C-alpha cells in the first residue's frame, strides 16, 4: 500500500487536490508540523517512512535490500502501519499530480480508496471477469467452487474485478492486459496511477509486460538507460577526486557517475549511467585504468566471487 513504509519520498507540502479533512484533523496535522525538534524527538511513534535518495533508487539491489531490512526491523519493534483510506487518498492524489508514472499494488482497500480519490465508482469489468472464469484455477481448498453459485468465495473473487472506472473515458486505456496467459489486469486510474497485484511474481510479470505501453511515452531521444559497472579494489576515498572530476566532465552528456562502497568486502563498485550507450562504452577503458578496476556485468558477480573465496578458506 502507499501508506506502508514507502520507497517514494513523501512531500511535506500538501497538494491542492488533497483530501479535505475535518477541523480537528487539520488542527492535529498543523500542530504536528509546527512541533519543535525536541517534541518530535519525544513523542510516541505511530507511523514510519523510508526516504531513499540517490540515483541508485532505480538500480534495485541496494534499495531492495535496505528497505526490506528496515521494514522487518520496524515490524520486530511493533511499528506496523495499518491501511488507512484517507492516507491512501491523499497520497495517490499528490503522486498523480507530481509524477508522470505511478505504481502501487492492489490490497484490501486499494480499489475503493483510489476510486474515492478521483470520484470513480467501482464497476464490474466484464472482460476481466470472463478472463478470470476462463484462466483462473480454483484453489485446492475449494474443489467444489462453482461460478454459477452465489457464494462468499465467488463474491470475494468478484471484488478483484470491481475496478475504479471513469465511464467518460476509453475503458481500454484504463484496464490493460499485458499477458494473454494472465487474467489479472493492470488498472490505470487518472491516466497515470497503475495498480498491480501484490503477489511478487504477478507484479513483476505484469510490470515487465507494461514496457511496450510505456516506451512510446518516454521523453528524449533513444529509449532506455544503460549502466556500466566497474569493480575496483581501491577505497572510495582513493578514487573520489578522479570520479568527481569525471562526473563534472561527463554531466553535459547526460552521464551520472556513482561510487558504492561494499562494506567488509574486497571490492567496491563504480557505475556510469546514461542514455548514450556508445559514449558510455568510450569511457570504460579510462575508468578501469584510473580506478585500477575491471568491468563486470552485475554486483552478483562480486557476490559469487566472495562466496567462493569464503568457501575456499573454510
Where do the domains of the chain lie, and which CATH numbers do they carry? 37-217 (3.40.980.10), 226-312 (3.30.70)
- Nearest Cα neighbor of 157 from 135, 185, 129 is 129
- Cβ atoms of residues 269 and 260 within 8 Å: yes
According to the model, what pLDDT value does residue 23 have?
Answer: 57
Identify the three-state secondary structure at position 110.
Answer: helix
What parts of the chain have a pLDDT lower than 50?
1-21, 222, 310, 313
pLDDT confidence of residue 6: 38
In angstroms, rounded to a whole number, what is the distance separating the alpha carbons of residues 231 and 260?
A: 10
Instruction: Classify each residue of 250-273 as buried b or exposed e, where b means 16 or more C-beta atoms within 10 Å of its C-beta.
Output: beeeebbbbbbebeeeebbbbbbb
Residue 246 CB partners (closer than 8 Å, separation 6+): 257, 283, 287, 290
Using the structure block, give the residue that is written with the C-alpha cell 519543535. 36
Handedness of CA 280, 282, 283, 284 (dihedral sign): positive
Please give the grid coordinates belonging to residue 100.
508522470
Task: Say if pTM beats, i.e. exceeds, 0.75.
Answer: no
DSSP 8-state assignment for residue 35: -
Structure confidence at residue 294 (pLDDT): 94
**pLDDT value of residue 20:** 42
Whole-angstrom distance, CA of residue 273 vs CA of residue 297:
14
Q: Tell whether the torsion through CA atoms of 137, 142, 143 and 144 is positive or negative.
A: negative
* C-alpha–C-alpha distance, residues 79 and 45, integer Å: 8
Residue 268 corresponds to which cell in the numbers above?
A: 567496491
68-71 contacts at long range (C-beta below 8 A, 24 or more positions apart) = 70/5, 71/4, 71/5
> Which pLDDT score, from 0 to 100, does residue 305 have?
58
Rounded CA-CA distance 241/307 in Å is 31
Amino acid at each position: 500500500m502507499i501508506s506502508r513504509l514507502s520507497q517514494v519520498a513523501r512531500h511535506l507540502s500538501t497538494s491542492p487536490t488533497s483530501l479535505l479533512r475535518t477541523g480537528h484533523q487539520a488542527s492535529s496535522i498543523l500542530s504536528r508540523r509546527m512541533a519543535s525538534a525536541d517534541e518530535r524527538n519525544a513523542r510516541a511513534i505511530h507511523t514510519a517512512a523510508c526516504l531513499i535518495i540517490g540515483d541508485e533508487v532505480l538500480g534495485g539491489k541496494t534499495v531492495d535490500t535496505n528497505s526490506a531490512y528496515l521494514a522487518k526491523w520496524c515490524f520486530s519493534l511493533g511499528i506496523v502501519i495499518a491501511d488507512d483510506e484517507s492516507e491512501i487518498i491523499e497520497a495517490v492524489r499528490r503522486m498523480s499530480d507530481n509524477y508522470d508514472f505511478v505504481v502501487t499494488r492492489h490490497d484490501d482497500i486499494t480499489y475503493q480508496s483510489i476510486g474515492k480519490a478521483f470520484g470513480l465508482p467501482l464497476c464490474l469489468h466484464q472482460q476481466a471477469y470472463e478472463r478470470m472464469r476462463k484462466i483462473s484455477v480454483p484453489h485446492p481448498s475449494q474443489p467444489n467452487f462453482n461460478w454459477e453459485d452465489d457464494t462468499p468465495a465467488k463474491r470475494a473473487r468478484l471484488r478483484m474485478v470491481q475496478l475504479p472506472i471513469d465511464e467518460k473515458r476509453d475503458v481500454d486505456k484504463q484496464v490493460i492486459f499485458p499477458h494473454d496467459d494472465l487474467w489479472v489486469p493492470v488498472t490505470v486510474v487518472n491516466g497515470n496511477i497503475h495498480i498491480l497485484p501484490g503477489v511478487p511474481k504477478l507484479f513483476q510479470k505484469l510490470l515487465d509486460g507494461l514496457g511496450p505501453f510505456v516506451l512510446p511515452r518516454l521523453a528524449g531521444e533513444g529509449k532506455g538507460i544503460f549502466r556500466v559497472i566497474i569493480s575496483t579494489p581501491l577505497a572510495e576515498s582513493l578514487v573520489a577526486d578522479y570520479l568527481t572530476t569525471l562526473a563534472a566532465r561527463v554531466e553535459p552528456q547526460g552521464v551520472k557517475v556513482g561510487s558504492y562502497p561494499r562494506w567488509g568486502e574486497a571490492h567496491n563498485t563504480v557505475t556510469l549511467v546514461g542514455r548514450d550507450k556508445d559514449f558510455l562504452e568510450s569511457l570504460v577503458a579510462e575508468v578501469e585504468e584510473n580506478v585500477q578496476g575491471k568491468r563486470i556485468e552485475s554486483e552478483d558477480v562480486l557476490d559469487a566471487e566472495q562466496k567462493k573465496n569464503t568457501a575456499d578458506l573454510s
